[in-house]
């Protein structure tokens, strides 16, 4: 429990005067199904042939906000994509550099016998045109070896240090159990090497040439994860945070199967420099280690997760009109230094956000009286429904939280656009060009919605209109704020 939440509860205890308020230490947000927090699985996928970079952490943070927003008791799961062409290329590169056979090299990698640097070097030097690439892909698809195990351990350690609660799962180990389900979808095609799932006007290919496609691997992995983490007899709800078409196809197919649970894909966001995606493979974007080293010079290392949460909730996202891919939904900056400055500023912004809430609470405490009333009719209408708003948080629905997370609010004010471009590190003619793109509608700046932050923002913005607040309404407002902060991960 944090000092800030402790302080909220201390204030509430000081104002207790009747039995109309529950002093339970548990947050009041509960899904319709009481067992829901135990069956919610929030998932994202990354190829851990190298360290996570800034774009991956932003993707993870979107998943983290959804996970905390829905009150999940699970960690956020990261599916380590260790099969397919890129991992096969890395395995080939390492086996040749060490003069080892493919199976021997893969077994040693699975056992963590090579260093992080050796694995990263192999991944960066991979070639997809190698004559043995197809047979190596086949080998990885048929084995359950995690050739990136040493990277998984290193990444998990870095993310824990940064304040994230995650669990990394191996794709190669996950798809083995789920593959049997894929092969039984259509008995007519069983054993042919080709399996597809048809629904309405869409045909989704799950197996081709005897090998699972990216969509098929996604479905197989989710089946395995559902069986492993959902209580017996309970169908989970999987939220897969990613923007690739394969992810949307795999979640749709998983849900359509009906026997294992439901799944939905939620788009994430990446990072770019002057409109171009910043890749970690080519070394453009800062890695998690680099961010930790530089960030911790100014702020506590374990506060990075808070800084990233505030960053995602408040920083403008650049979108190209009609974009549907993560490549066109980006936090755009001039360079790494500009991004790092913005991240550190976000930590400061999170602290100021908490301070503003403390000021609101202290001001409201000084206005406690017999009734609740406001000088503003709109604010009065909000105040009239405080009990209902507090009650609504007890039965929060999945769609409300997910719907808000997918909401993008365009920034149209010229002044706000200028400030945003400045904060992104652009200056001179480069800044003028950026501003003109946004003003002309060639690109759009937006901010991402959050169900709970919108509630807290409304309380902050209306506090000055409140003339008097009853003791019971004051306690309800405190309770609403506590729940929202917890669900935002701002404890």
Res 258: pLDDT: 80
Work out the average pLDDT over 81-95: 95
Residue 266's Cβ-side half-sphere holds a number of Cα atoms within 13 Å equal to: 31
Average pLDDT along the chain:
87
pTM, full prediction: 0.89
Closest CA to 266 of 410, 457, 69: 69
Counting residues of the chain whose pLDDT is more than 70, the rounded percentage is 90
Res 267: pLDDT: 87
Element (H, E) at 90: helix 85-97
Res 8: pLDDT: 60
Res 23: pLDDT: 34
> Which structure tokens are listed for 211?
């090998």
Cα 178 to Cα 181, 188, 240, 361: the distances in Å are: 5, 19, 17, 51
Quick check: 163 and 302 in contact, CB under 8 A? Answer: yes
pLDDT(361) > 70: yes
Beta strands in 414-486 (DSSP E): 444-448, 466-470
Closest CA to 149 of 87, 96, 102: 87
Q: What is the pLDDT of residues 164-211, one digit of tens each?
A: 999 999 999 988 878 878 877 777 777 777 888 887 777 888 888 888
pLDDT(418) > 60: yes
Res 6: pLDDT: 62
Instruction: Return d(Cα 53, Cα 155) in angstroms, integer.
Output: 10
Burial of 415 (0-12, 13-18, 19+ CB in 10 A): exposed
pLDDT(159) > 50: yes
Domain annotation for the chain: domains and CATH numbers = 1-30+366-407+449-491 (no CATH), 36-82+148-268 (3.40.50.620), 280-353+412-445 (no CATH)
Quick check: 207 and 199 in contact, CB under 8 A? Answer: no
> Which structure tokens are listed for 331?
């936090």
Q: Which stretches of 143-265 are DSSP H helices? A: 149-161, 171-183, 214-229, 245-257
Q: What is the pLDDT of residues 136-147, one digit of tens each?
A: 999 998 899 999
Res 170: pLDDT: 94
Contacts of 7 (CB under 8 A, 6+ apart): 358
Q: What is the pLDDT of residues 269-286, one digit of tens each?
A: 889 999 888 875 555 899
**How many other C-beta atoms lie within 10 A of the C-beta of residue 143?**
18
Work out the average pLDDT over 77-92: 95
**231: confidence class by pLDDT, cuts 50, 70, 90:** confident
């Amino acid at each position: 429990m944090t000092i800030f939440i402790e302080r909220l509860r201390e204030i509430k205890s000081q104002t207790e005067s009747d039995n109309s308020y529950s002093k339970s230490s548990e947050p009041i947000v509960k899904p319709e199904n009481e067992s829901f927090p135990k069956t919610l699985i929030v998932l994202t996928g990354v190829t851990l042939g190298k360290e996570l970079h800034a774009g991956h952490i932003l993707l993870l943070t979107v998943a983290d906000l959804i996970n905390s927003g829905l009150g999940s008791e699970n960690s956020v799961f990261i599916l380590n994509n260790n099969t397919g062409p890129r991992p096969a290329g890395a395995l080939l590169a390492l086996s040749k550099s060490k003069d080892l056979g493919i199976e021997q090299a893969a077994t040693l990698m699975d056992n963590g016998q090579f260093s992080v640097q050796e694995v990263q070097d192999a991944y960066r030097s991979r070639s997809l045109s190698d004559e043995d690439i197809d047979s190596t892909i086949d080998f990885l698809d048929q084995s359950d070896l995690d050739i990136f195990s040493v990277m998984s351990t290193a990444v998990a350690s870095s993310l824990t240090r940064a304040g994230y609660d995650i669990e990394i799962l191996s794709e190669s180990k996950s798809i083995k159990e789920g593959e049997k389900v894929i092969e039984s979808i259509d008995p007519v095609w069983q054993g042919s090497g080709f399996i597809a799932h048809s629904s309405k006007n869409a045909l989704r290919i799950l197996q081709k040439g005897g090998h699972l496609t990216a969509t098929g691997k996604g479905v197989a992995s989710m089946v395995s994860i559902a069986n492993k983490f959902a209580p017996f007899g309970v169908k989970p709800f999987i939220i897969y945070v990613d923007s690739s078409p394969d992810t949307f196809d795999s979640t749709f197919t998983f849900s359509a199967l009906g026997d294992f649970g439901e799944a939905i894909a939620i788009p994430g966001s990446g990072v770019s420099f002057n409109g171009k995606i910043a890749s970690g493979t080519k070394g453009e974007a800062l890695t998690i280690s680099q961010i930790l080293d530089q960030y911790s010079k100014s702020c506590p290392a374990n506060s990075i997760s808070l800084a990233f949460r505030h960053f995602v909730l408040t920083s403008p996202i650049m979108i190209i009109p009609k974009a549907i891919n993560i490549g066109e939904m980006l936090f755009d900056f001039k360079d790494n230094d500009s991004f790092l400055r913005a991240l550190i500023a976000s930590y400061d912004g999170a602290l100021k956000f908490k301070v503003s809430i403390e000021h609101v609470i202290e001001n409201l405490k000084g206005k406690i009286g017999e009734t609740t009333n406001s000088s503003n009719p709109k604010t009065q209408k909000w105040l009239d429904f405080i009990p209902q708003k507090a009650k609504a948080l007890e039965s929060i629905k999945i769609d409300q939280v997910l719907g808000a997370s997918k909401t993008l609010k365009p920034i149209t004010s010229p002044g706000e656009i200028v400030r945003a471009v400045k904060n992104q590190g652009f200056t001179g003619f480069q800044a003028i060009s950026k501003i003109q793109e946004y003003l002309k509608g060639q690109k759009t700046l937006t901010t991402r919605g959050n169900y709970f932050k919108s509630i807290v923002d409304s309380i902050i913005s209306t506090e000055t209109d409140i003339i008097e607040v009853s003791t019971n309404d004051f306690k309800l407002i405190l309770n609403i704020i506590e729940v929202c902060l917890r669900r935002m991960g701002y404890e």
